[in-house]
Amino acid sequence: MKNVLLVLCCILLIGISVGCTQEDAENVWTHNIYPSTNNTYTVGSPALQYQNGYFVNLSVGNTIITNFSAISGNCIYIWDADNSDYFSLCHDGGVGIIENPTGDIYVRGDDNVVADLTGDSAGMYEFQVENSGNTEVASIDTAGNLDVIGNISGKNLAVSGLATVGNVTTKALLTLASGNISAGLAPLVFTAGPLLTVPVAGAMEFDGTGIYLTPTNHRRFISLASDSMIATTNTAALIDTQLWQGIINANELRVNRVYVIKGCGLYTTHDANDRCTINMTVDSTNVVSIQTAAGLVTNQSWSFEVYFTVRAIGATGIISSHGDIETTTASSCTTWETISMNTSAINYITLNAKWSDTLNSIKLTQCWLATAD
C-alpha cells in the first residue's frame, strides 16, 4: 500500500511540475477552454503572463480575432461577426482593412468609408475618398485622372496633364469653374504681397493696389478702367460744376504708374465768343485746365484726354500731368510739369466745367478713369 501511495504522489508531483509551471506550460497540452458559469474570468495577470498561445480560432466578444482555417498565410486577421470584412497584418508588410472576397482596401472612420484604395464596384475608380455620408469627395479613375469635389488646401500642388476646378466641361491645362455672387466664392483670387525683386516672364502678381503681368522681362501694370458713367451730365453754369468724379484709393498710386481720364460729349454756344473751361482737380488741387475753342456751334462733338504720371508717393507725392481737348472748330492743350499730391490719402478726381457767358450748354456723355503702365 505504501508503495502505491508513493507512486501516486510522484505522479501528482510530476504533473504539477509539468502542467502548472508558467515557463513550461505553453507547449504541454491542447484543449478547449470554456467557463463553467456565466461569470467573467481573468486569464493571467501582469505579474503572471501566459506565453506563446496558439489558436485555430480566437474570438473576443462578437469579433473573430483569428481564423486560420478560413484563410492561409503568415498574417493576423481580425474579422467581423459575419466573416465578410477583416483587417490583416502580415509579416511581409501587407496592411489593410479588406472586404473579402474582392480584395478592396478600405479606410474607415465613424462607421463610414472615407477611402477606397481599389475603387468602386463598377470598376471606374482606382482610388476614391468619401465623406462621412459615404459621398465621393475625391477619386482617381482608371485612366489616372484626379477628380476633387470640395476644397484643396496645402502649400504645393503639382498637376501633370489637364486640371479642372469645379464642375466644368471645357478641357484645358487649367480650367476654373465660374464663381458665385457670394463673398469669397470668386473663381480666382490673389492675396496681396510684395512684387518679385526680379521680374519673371509669364508671371502675374498682385501687390494690393493692382495686377501686374510680365510678358517678357518687363513687368507691366494691367490697365483697369473704372468709374465710367452711365448717365449724361450737363451744365450751363458760370461757375465750376461737377460733371464726373472718380476715385483713387489711399496708397494706390505707385511711382511710374500712369493714370488716364477720357471723356466726350456735345456742346452748344450762344455766340462765337463763348467758351467753356474744363478743369480737372485731384481733391482741391487743379491738375489740368483746358478750354473749348471760340465759335458758334450747335450740339457739336467735343472730347478730352487727361493723363498724369506718378513721380513720388507719400504725403509729399508728386505727379506730372497733361490734358488735350478736341472740338469741331479747334483743339487746345496744357501741361503741368509737377503737382503736389498726398498719395497716402483717398484722392477724388473731379471734372468740372464752367461757361464764360450765359445761354450755353455742355454735355458729358462718356467719361472713365483708367490706369496703365
Per-residue model confidence as pLDDT tens digits over 138-159? 777 766 676 766 666 666 666 6
DSSP 168-227: ----SSEEE----SSTT--S--PPP-PPPSS--TT-EEE-SS-EEE-SSSS-EEPP--B-
Distances, alpha carbon 28 to alpha carbons 20, 53, 206, 320, in Å: 10, 11, 78, 103
How many whole angstroms separate alpha carbon 278 and alpha carbon 35? 106
Per-residue model confidence as pLDDT tens digits over 249-305? 899 888 998 999 999 999 999 999 999 999 988 887 888 888 888 889 999 999 999
Domain residues of the chain, as ranges? 112-147, 233-372
How many whole angstroms separate alpha carbon 115 and alpha carbon 134? 9
The answer, as to whether pTM is greater than 0.75, is no
Indicate the DSSP class of residue 293.
Answer: P
- Count CB neighbours of 51 within 10 A: 10
In terms of average pLDDT, the best of 161-175, 196-210, 248-262, 355-369 is: 355-369
Per-residue model confidence as pLDDT tens digits over 320-332? 999 998 988 788 8
N-terminal to C-terminal alpha carbon distance within the chain: 121
| 230 dihedral zone (left: phi>0; alpha: psi -120 to 50; beta) | alpha
Per DSSP, the three-state class of 362 is strand
pLDDT at 16 > cutoff 60: no
Per DSSP, the three-state class of 352 is strand
Quick one: CATH architecture of 233-372? Sandwich (2.60)
Question: What average pLDDT does range 103-126 have in this prediction?
Answer: 52
> What are the beta bridge partners of residue 58?
66
Nine cell digits for residue 295:
465759335
Nine cell digits for residue 20:
502548472
